[in-house]
Amino acid sequence: MKIGVLCSGGDAPGMNACVRAVVRSAAARGHQVVGIRRGYRGLVEETFYVGESGGIELTPRDVSDWGRHGGTFLHSSRCPEFLEAEGRDRAASAMAKHGLEALVVVGGDGSFRGATAFSQHFSGPIVGCPGTIDNDLLGTDFTIGFSTAVRTATEAVDMLRDTAESHERMFLIEVMGRHSGYIAAITALAGSAETVCIPETPTDVPAMVDYLRRLKKRGKSSVMMIVAEGDEAGGAEILHRKLEEAGCPFPMRVLILGHLQRGGCPTPEDRVLATRLGDAAVSAILDGKSGVMAGVVGRETVWTPFEQTYARHKPIAPEFLELLDRMAH
Ligand code: ADP
Ligand code: F6P
């Protein structure tokens, strides 16, 4: 069997490790893999990764040492053409033309919506691996890239604490996550932040200022506030202005971490997760599964229908939010 693999949507550290696992797992079972470049755009435009052999089949040697590199060597894209049936038809024709009998999609919720739509045009197996730093997909405890994004954000908080202490300031640090507060919540706990603003809980500015006044009175000399970019208060810059107007007792500075969280050498956790999921995706295809995402829940590898991975907002456990609250006092 010849399997196509692509990385789609926002790139994530660990995507290369996942593609490496797909190639190595398929080869170990006597099957071939073709690397599709730039996500769905590569299918629409028929652009493939050329390996050392000069052909478009990825060999185990081609993916040597991919595991430790962030980003995606296949490149990724956001492909508006794939939103149209005509684009998906062209993609299906490309699959047939190049003898691709199955597809592994490494991406986020949008990529899996695309995979669901593509299944109306391509009858072969399609299996997904959750490659996004957002950790906003149901059916897996964590997504590939989340661990590395949290490491990056936590290191930033640690460094900012030094200058915040030196000048007795408060920092509002905005992290990614799109509509999810997962990166912000975990970073806040790991970075011993005094407060966090996430879409999953209401952001009450007056109550926040009262809390900050209590911290100041208790002798707190620096404050870290982690802000999820999707927070209903509008992100760090807007929240900064609201806190200023409400009489925040600390001088404030804002830092938006942005795409720093998308790069870097993947953590061992991301590399292992990516390897498990890439291998599981190949197993799923060979077992006749389709329309599912491979995930790890607890210690188990599980497969979840695409539609269920993005059907609703992935909640943050209330007990985790309570822990966060207890640690911030
Ligand atoms: P992510 O997978 O990281 O959430 P996007 O939301 O950009 O990233 O989705 C990646 C790509 O998937 C899009 O650029 C588009 O090509 C495709 N896609 C997303 N949603 C759909 C959809 N509803 N139908 C068809 N293709 C889609
Ligand atoms: O989905 C991953 C993500 O990094 C989100 O957290 C963020 O909002 C978005 O992608 C940024 O998209 P782009 O890289 O296209 O600016």
Confidence of residue 261 (pLDDT cuts 50, 70, 90): very high
Residues making up the chain, counted from first to last: 329
Encoding tokens for residue 21?
A: 């696992």
Matching fold, domains 2-145+266-309 and 146-263: yes
Distance 303 CA to ligand 2 centre (A): 25
Q: Tell me the pTM.
A: 0.97
- Assign a CATH topology to domain 2-145+266-309: Rossmann fold (3.40.50)
Residue nearest to atom 13 of ligand 1 (CA): 78
- The tens digit of pLDDT for each residue in 213-257 reads 999 999 999 999 999 999 998 899 999 999 999 999 999 999 999
Q: Integer distance in angstroms from the first to the last C-alpha of the chain?
A: 57
Residue nearest to atom 26 of ligand 1 (CA): 114
Overall fold of domain 146-263:
Rossmann fold (3.40.50)
The amino acid at residue 298 is G
pLDDT for 75-111, tens place per residue? 999 999 999 999 999 999 999 999 999 999 999 999 9
Average pLDDT over residues 139-153: 98
35 pLDDT exceeds 90? yes
Going by alpha carbons, the residue nearest to atom 22 of ligand 1 is: 114
pLDDT, averaged across the chain: 97
Strand partners, 293: 128, 304
3-state secondary structure of 319: helix
Ligand 2 mean position to 175 CA, how many Å? 11
Q: Which residues of 177-207 are buried (b: 16+ CB within 10 A; e: fewer)?
A: bbebbbbbbbbbbbbebbbbbbbbbebeeee
* Residue ranges per structural domain of the chain: 2-145+266-309, 146-263
Are 270 and 148 a contacting pair, CB within 8 Å?
A: yes
Tokens describing residue 25: 């797992």
Residue to substitute in 84, 113, 293 for testing ligand 1 pocket (most ligand atoms within 8 angstroms of CB): 113
Each residue of 275-320: pLDDT tens digit? Answer: 999 999 999 999 999 999 999 999 999 999 999 999 999 999 999 9
Say whether pLDDT at 159 is over 90: yes
Whether 134 is catalytic is yes
- What is the pLDDT, as a whole number, of residue 328? 81
> Residues 11, 62, 109, 134: which is the catalytic one?
134
